[in-house]
Amino acid sequence: MHFERKTRNRLVGLSVLTISGIPIILEGTKLLIIMLANQRREKILELLKEDGSAKVIDLSRIFKVTEVTIRQDLEKLEKDGLVLREHGGAYLKNVEDQVRTFSLANQENMDKKELIASKCLEYIESGDTIILDSGSTTTEIAKKLIGFKNLTVITNALNIALKLGAEPGIEVIMTGGEFKPPTLSLTGQKAADFFKGINVQKLFLATAGISLKSGLTYPSISDIVVKKAMIDAAETTYLVADSTKMGKSAFASLGALSLIDYIITDAGIEDKHRKIFNDNEIELIIAD
């Protein structure tokens, strides 16, 4: 653990120690870790961008603060024009437009994602049965599969199913589950149960963040069971993630990096992250 400078707050008579950027208050023998309000609001917004909506009572339990505090957070996010509050919770402001136009919220680094998608085609062959996870990078893969013959695609992403569903050479199979508007995907235990007894050659898995400590991470807890079931059903798992995901952690952890066989990323990956994959015996594939 990295320890930084120690300061004295003269107004309240408390010693403040910063550990890895998180303020720690030392009050007598008590050690209290404080998550700054703006940090918590960023995490709340991450969850809303993934799930579309959230209840105050659930957010209070997740972040271990009072419902009054969560309501104040949501009020601030609403004032910033990011969410709309409703009785007992809030929802993402532009979620209706996203669903109506079938567009994904995360459209950053699309040049990198397109390169990764092109590289993935080298690992997909006629006769394969593959799983395409939901996400912006996997959506780019789906776009490039148009024209393929004798291919079966299993997906939990509605936008991917609609994109490939009319292709005569591609059989599309969808999971069941609960609909998540921002990601246009199906999630939860019912989606996970679909994969019981299924065996496929390849899974192309998305992620929100990759770190040595937390492994593969995602903003939404409900996705974890689905992604685990996908991995269990696949002989080979390819993680598709652009270099900006490296060293980042989202809210919920799927598990160790050893869950995947290959990672396909772009040339922007740093040497320290290359070493992490090498140390974990994961083959790194660079799209350039």
pLDDT at 6 exceeding the cut of 60: no
pLDDT at 58 exceeding the cut of 50: yes
**Topology of domain 110-287, per CATH?**
Rossmann fold (3.40.50)
Q: If you search the block for the tokens 């898995």, which residue do you land on? A: 205
**Topology of domain 36-93, per CATH?**
Arc Repressor Mutant, subunit A (1.10.10)
Distance between CA atoms of residues 179 and 75, nearest Å: 26
Comparison of pLDDT for 160 and 89, the residue scoring more: 160
Q: Residue range 135-159: average pLDDT?
A: 95
Under DSSP, is residue 238 helix (H, G, I), strand (E, B) or coil?
strand
Under DSSP, is residue 58 helix (H, G, I), strand (E, B) or coil?
helix
Comparison of pLDDT for 23 and 85, the residue scoring more: 85
* Per-residue model confidence (pLDDT) at position 250: 75
Average pLDDT, the chain: 82
Comparison of pLDDT for 250 and 277, the residue scoring more: 277
Beta-sheet strand order (sheet of 200-205): 170-174, 151-155, 129-132, 200-205, 234-240, 262-266, 283-287
What tens digit of pLDDT does each residue of 245-257 get?
898 877 788 888 8
Q: Is the dihedral of CA 184, 121, 152, 240 positive or negative?
A: negative
What tens digit of pLDDT does each residue of 205-247 get?
999 888 877 889 887 788 899 999 999 999 999 999 999 989 8
Residues 6+ apart with CB under 8 A from 135: 104, 106, 157, 183, 206, 240
* Per-residue model confidence (pLDDT) at position 199: 95
DSSP state of 105: S
Burial class (CB in 10 A: 0-12, 13-18, 19+), 183: buried
